[in-house]
Copies of this chain bind each other. A is one copy, B any other.
Amino acid sequence: MIVQPFATPALPPFLDLLGIAVFAISGALAAVKMRQTFVTTCFFALVTGVGGGSVRDVLIGLRAFWISDPWVAAVVLASALLVWLTPSRWWEGMLLEWADALGLAVFCVLGTAKALAYGVAPLPAAVLGVVTGCVGGMIRDVLAGVPSILMRPELYVTAAALSAGLCAIFTALDVPPAWGWSIAALAGFALRGAAMVWKIELPTYRAE
């Protein structure tokens, strides 16, 4: 266990919790679309909101971030309550998808930066960034028994990999974090947004 006591990079707490709320809402929506109970809705909000960051922290050898921060669980439960009490058509349409795209890009950058801050080499740090952004949604899909976002040709994990990879590269090149992180997050967000607008898909395997 080589863990430096280090200032973890972070968004201003308000933005960080907002990002967790967006992911938690997407998990809660998956549950109410399956007509689940409120308790199940909370559980889906939790695994989607904190699953990716938890797996990242545990792989680095750290306590999961939401264990040390009492606000995260409160935000997750409030997100579940909000979804439970409102008509699901409020949440249809593209607003949530755009918020999710932004959350994905931002969390991939923050996850990569946190790994780098704990001494992880650039390539595994970028992998941990992708894990931060994507694994919560994968656990949600596995628990719900639906095909994972991982299995669809949409540019989702790819956008995550772009943000995480750029963050690792910019940090290795000593680009100031304010610039490097912003460009990395915007690039992944733009790619995911373009994929949503123009239905861009990656080619699938064709060699026989």
Contacts and interface: CB of A to CB of B under 8 A. Distances in A.
A63 B58 CA distance: 7
Given A87-B208, A88-B207, A158-B39, A127 B46 contact: yes
Contact of A73 (B32, B69, B123, B205): B123
A123 to B, nearest CB: 5
A38 B153 CA distance: 10
A153 B37 contact: yes
A148 interface: yes
A72 B63 CA distance: 24
Given A35-B205, A38-B202, 11 more contacts: A32-B207, A36-B151, A36-B204, A39-B157, A43-B157, A60-B63, A60-B64, A67-B128, A84-B207, A86-B207, A144-B151
B35 A204 contact: yes
A13 interface: no
The 7 A-B pairs with the shortest beta carbon distances in the complex, nearest first, are A61-B63, A70-B121, A37-B202, A32-B205, A59-B64, A35-B204, A73-B123
B59 A63 contact: yes
A145 interface: yes
Contacts of A43: 130, 150, 157
B61 A62 contact: yes
Interface of A: 1-3, 31-32, 34-41, 43, 46, 54, 58-64, 66-70, 72-74, 77, 84-89, 115, 120-124, 127-128, 130, 138, 142-145, 147-148, 150-151, 153, 157-158, 161, 201-208
Contact of A67 (B34, B60, B157): B60
A59 B70 contact: no
Nearest to A134: B43
A208 B89 contact: yes
A37 B63 CA distance: 33
B208 A67 contact: no
B204 A37 contact: yes
A133 B2 CA distance: 25
A156 to B, nearest CB: 9
